[in-house]
Structure 1
Amino acid sequence: MIAQYLPEFNLFNLLVVCIAFALGGFVKGIAAFGLPTIAVPPIVLFMSLPSAVSIMTIPMVVTNFVQMMVSGRIKSVILRHWRLFLGLFIGLPIGVFMLSAVETQYLLIAVGIFLMFIATLEITGISFSFLGTRENLYGPLIGLAAGIIGGITTLYGTLPVFFFIALGLEKDDFVSAVSVMLFGGSIFLLLSLQSMDFLKPTEIAYSVIGLIPLFAGMWVGTKVRGRIPQATFKKFVLILVALIGVIMIYRALF
């Protein structure tokens, strides 16, 4: 029935989206981020990058809103990190413009190598806690860079996640900060993509139907997170950051 109104819609692509969303939702339930990291690569195997980015926008808005409301601490997070958020919101439209106008291969490779490098250092015990001493300076710069990267790849949360780790946030505070950041960013990303005419009815259909397996995966992941100690949680997040770096390099090369 859907295919009658949307000729480009097909069940195989929908199956790919649903599987990718379920896996991405599971990871997001554990770490509070990582949905596009896990979901976009398999979708890109069968659809274009702009389509994959567009398909992610509605689920990102909905899931980040739910996670933000559940985690709480919204006011305190905004008061502390508003400079980072401002940089992020400025950078996202720039990145979306670059998605259609600029060759982004070398940017993805450079960012991927950087993420792998810093995550590996943190895992081996070399700390970047010095960022916390100049939080008001580094925050907006990291937000701006994250916004540009996110407009191209949807992975705008990676650099702020690393920044929050460097600040030494506890697990619950970390989840709250990430949730607020991701929700605000997803709204700006959605508006930016819509203004550039990337968000089409077929992508919207995939997004809405895919919410069902996505929330199922998130529910399971949230249950798992409640059983993970702080040290294990931090290591899982850092490994996920390194994985994002690998995926960025792979996308750029292949």
Structure 2
Amino acid sequence: MQLDSHIAAILATFLLAGFVKGVTGLGLPTVAIGLLSLVMRPADAATLVVIPSLVTNLWQMTSGPALRPIARRLWPMMLGIFAGTWAFGGVLTGSHASAAITGLGVVLLLYAAFGLLRLRLPHVATRTELVLSPVIGAATGAVTGATGVFVIPAVPYLQALGFERDELVQALGMSFTVSTIALAIMLAGTGTLGALALSSLAALIPALIGMEIGNRVRKRVEPTLFRKIFFAGLALLGAHLLLR
């Protein structure tokens, strides 16, 4: 009975996370890892997210015509993501589960604050970008390696680079894809990925179903209201993880 309820919780989580991704264009790993960390180790939650996150973000990354220019512009950030993830992966996969949960709670609260308060970083000039991109990448990788979530500081930073809307969607997809690959390599190195690879593949099905439902709902709901609900939910989840 306990196993059945555990499986049901995983399926429901990925259905919801896919739905959020379909409506807002982001949030699948953030929602999934945040919710799954309530019932399992953050490392296991991050492992289950790998394949759904990789598939959905690869699609987002390749869905526009600006992939090569974005890659030429952002490659220092992408290298930083790999370095940071590898350096801090021990927090997520080692004996520091409580630290990972605390870090996850902090990240969710920060991300929710940016969304609810509509905070924006100042525009980043080209000269500053050359220096800042690898630093932001390394910081994003550090957060990824420690918590499995890769939205902070990548999302606010990419929003500050002055991309057009479609380019920003692709740039976010690239950052999320690289972060997922870096996370997968790190998890594979510790043996965590191999044990849950099939479960991660199975989680892709409810995630895609949720995305399709979310895509249809997006045409009928007010996006601003849904985003407020989404970020308020993340804030509550982050606070709950911190209280644990």
TM (norm. structure 1) is 0.79
Secondary structure of 2:193's counterpart equals: coil
- For 2:131 and 2:232, the matched residues in 1 are separated by 25
Aligned-pair CA distance for 1:193? 0.4
1:198 to 180, 192, 198: 192
Query: Counterpart of 2:10?
Result: 17
Aligned-pair CA distance for 1:156? 1.0
Pair 1:211–1:112, CA change in 2 (3 A): closer
In the alignment, structure 1 residue 34 sits paired with structure 2 residue 24: no
- For 1:12 and 1:50, the matched residues in 2 are separated by 20
Q: How does 1:105-184 map to 2 (within 5 A)?
A: 107-108=103-104, 111-112=107-108, 114-121=110-117, 123=118, 127-132=120-125, 134-184=128-178
Between the two proteins, the alignment pairs up a number of residues equal to 239
Decide whether the 8 Å contact of 1:71 with 1:179 is kept in 2. no
Query: Counterpart of 2:67?
Result: 74
1:87 to 73, 80, 87: 80
- For 1:221 and 1:170, the matched residues in 2 are separated by 23
Aligned-pair CA distance for 1:86? 1.6
Q: Deviations over 1:180-207 (max 9, x none)?
A: 1111211111010010122243x22321
Query: Counterpart of 1:250?
Result: 240
Decide whether the 8 Å contact of 1:90 with 1:144 is kept in 2. yes
- For 2:160 and 2:236, the matched residues in 1 are separated by 21
Query: Counterpart of 1:5?
Result: none
Aligned-pair CA distance for 1:28? 1.6
Larger displacement relative to structure 2 (177-186 or 93-102): 93-102
- For 2:15 and 2:150, the matched residues in 1 are separated by 20
Query: Counterpart of 2:205?
Result: 212
- For 1:34 and 1:119, the matched residues in 2 are separated by 12
Give the % identical residues. Answer: 28
Q: Deviations over 1:2-43 (max 9, x none)?
A: xxxxxxx93322221111111111212233321122112332
Aligned-pair CA distance for 1:208? 1.7
Pair 1:172–1:10, CA change in 2 (3 A): same
Pair 1:78–1:206, CA change in 2 (3 A): same
Q: Deviations over 1:194-253 (max 9, x none)?
A: 10122243x223212221111111123334556789xx56x8668756754554443233
- For 2:236 and 2:88, the matched residues in 1 are separated by 20
Query: Counterpart of 1:6?
Result: none
Decide whether the 8 Å contact of 2:38 with 2:241 is kept in 1. no
Larger displacement relative to structure 2 (148-157 or 133-142): 133-142
Decide whether the 8 Å contact of 1:116 with 1:241 is kept in 2. yes
For structure 2, which runs of at least 5 residues remain unmatched after alignment?
A: none
- For 1:51 and 1:62, the matched residues in 2 are separated by 18
For structure 1, which runs of at least 5 residues remain unmatched after alignment?
A: 1-8
